[in-house]
Amino acid sequence: MPNPEKIFRVRLLGENALRDVSGVAPALVAGVGLKARLSELVGESGEAAPSAGTDSGGDRAMTGLELSIASDWSRPIAELRWQIDHVVRRVRRLYDLLGAHPQLEAEAAPHNLAAAVALDLRRAFGNGRDAQPPAGHSPGLQSKLRHPREGLGLDDETERFAASEDLFRRWVNEDPAVRTSIAICDDVRQLAALDLAGGVLEIEIIEEARARELGLNLLLAVGQASDASPPRLALARWTPSGMSQSRPPLMLLGKGITFDTGGINVKPYESFVSHMRNDMAGAALAFAAFRHLIMGGYPRPLVLAIPTCENAIGERAMRPGTVVKSHRGLRVKIDHTDAEGRLVLADALSYAEERFAPELTFCFATLTTAALQAYGPYATPVHFAPAPIERALRQASDATGEDLHFFPSRAWHYEANRDDEADLKNTGRLPGYMPHAAGSRNAAHFLLHFARAPLVHADIFASTWNWGGDFPGTGYGATGAPLRTFVRALEALAND
């Protein structure tokens, strides 16, 4: 093993039968690019167990394994998270340690790297604070993560991020028959019950009759076939104490399609229809980030806007080819009913900008499968970020290990959304031989037609769900990404 200061020690404590661990380490790191050593821990003293084959008086229970992983800490945190997680997964499977209680020691590790790995372990093995660990061991994630210069303990910080990430993932993983637009709005209302210091919170839920009066016709068109999850627009505004409401807020806008059948243009199995509970992940991210920030007394005005409904099939469902007048006044042809997310976001963006006059909007949406096809299962394409915002997001992304890729606005993507019959269509396509190219880019530019203030749009379809099955610390379902990155960036922007 190289320099001992460059080693993570992960202890997995459980009640498993003793096994021989000699010679296992090379298989654990095959194809990962790390070096590792595996040893056994027995009893409260942590003494090594006898090797397999020795006279130990029969099978004995061991309290766990210690995995020492050597890593180059100069590598991107995104890569190190993936590498360390792969080794830990292999140990868990090999020794049936799914219910183990993790401990992590990386006292000399950089703060951000240690925190990222601690959060992954916490998520992989559960909170641990409500479970009972083996006798003689304290509960939960014993991170022991101290910066060598600052002596900084990270437990409180990791737990606060973890709680917000748990909330985000719980929303996304919930059965769509339960996580309806009504349930989303109920949770937004419940923000008023929080013990908030340092600010004032105002909440409004716009239901169908009021939405019709306001001209939110795109939102109404998408949700009009569902009684169980009808169209709603949930709004919340946070104003710090002593600050005038005349200061423009930042706005968090999240797509809340509680289930996406594709509508009359039915979504096929190959387009992940069985996973479409996750089509409200943008709403979940915006809500979790908003709650996290106001619970911390965020010092800037902040607005939350969630357009939410189900894109259902039924006799009231919107028809392909229908032209709908949007809140902005632009006429939009419903060219394809499975391109519904941009429609609800367009109306919400237009109305919320008119009402709150935000300085800048962060938009979160599982907007296109093209994001997964083009950028792979870990990355989030971010469109239109102004230079200071891109800089803050890059720094936060580097610190959390959640990959972001940045793209500017371009005229050809903007114009790709024009239509001959209406002003716009909801299936932006580049001309000629590229009709299916740049789907995430074209969809993002559709939203620009409805924005007056700067817009930063994150297409989180690829990163927010564990498509490849190997997202760090995550089993089936929601990953929790890229919440850490956007919260950190918003905190960094708090005093700008």
Question: Whole-angstrom Cα distance, residue 416 to residue 427?
Answer: 9
Question: Whole-angstrom Cα distance, residue 238 to residue 292?
Answer: 12
Does residue 211 share a domain with residue 73? no
- Could you report the per-residue pLDDT of 54-98, keeping only the tens digit for each? 334 444 444 578 888 888 888 999 999 999 999 998 888 888 777
CATH code of the domain covering residue 227:
3.40.630.10
187-205 as b/e: b if 16+ CB within 10 A: bbeebeeeeeeebebeeeb
Question: Whole-angstrom Cα distance, residue 34 to residue 27?
Answer: 11
pLDDT at 406: 98
Please tell me the least confidently modeled range out of 181-190, 269-278, 301-310: 269-278
Domain boundary among 123, 153, 183: 153
For 220, 231, 232, 259, 397, the CA distances from 206, given in Å and listed in that order, are: 11, 9, 6, 20, 34
Does residue 295 share a domain with residue 312? yes
In sequence order, which residues have a C-beta less than 8 Å from that of residue 178 and are 6 or more positions away?
A: none
Does residue 101 share a domain with residue 202? no
Residue 341: alpha-carbon gap to chain centroid: 17
Number of domains in the chain: 2
Active-site residue among 267, 441, 484, 488?
267
pLDDT at 401: 96
Exposure on the CB side of residue 140, measured as CA atoms within 13 A: 11
Domain boundary among 153, 187, 204: 153
Does residue 338 share a domain with residue 264? yes
- Please, which residues bridge with residue 131 across strands? none
Does residue 483 share a domain with residue 450? yes
Boundaries of domain holding 55: 4-153
Neighbouring C-beta atoms of residue 283, cutoff 10 Å:
33
- pTM of the predicted model over 0.85: yes
- Could you report the per-residue pLDDT of 450-473, keeping only the tens digit for each? 999 999 999 999 999 999 999 999
Does residue 449 share a domain with residue 319? yes
Does residue 188 share a domain with residue 122? no
- Could you report the per-residue pLDDT of 323-332, keeping only the tens digit for each? 999 999 999 9
**Residue 46 — pLDDT band, cuts 50, 70, 90?**
very low
User: Is position 144 annotated as part of the catalytic site?
Assistant: no
Count of residues making up the chain: 496
Mean model confidence pLDDT for the chain: 86
Does residue 169 share a domain with residue 115? no
Tokens 């909170």, located at residue? 127
Higher confidence at residue 33 or residue 318? 318
Does residue 168 share a domain with residue 64? no
Active-site residue among 169, 237, 277, 342?
342
- Could you report the per-residue pLDDT of 175-217, keeping only the tens digit for each? 999 999 999 999 999 999 999 988 999 999 999 999 999 999 9
pLDDT at 140 over 60: no
Does residue 408 share a domain with residue 464? yes
- Could you report the per-residue pLDDT of 228-259, keeping only the tens digit for each? 999 999 999 999 998 888 899 999 999 999 99
Strand (E) or helix (H) holding 152: none
Please tell me the least confidently modeled range out of 86-90, 97-101, 169-173, 301-305: 97-101
Helix, strand, coil percentages for the chain (3-state, nearest 5): 35, 20, 45
Does residue 241 share a domain with residue 131? no
User: Is position 267 annotated as part of the catalytic site?
Assistant: yes
Domain boundary among 127, 153, 179: 153
Does residue 300 share a domain with residue 266? yes
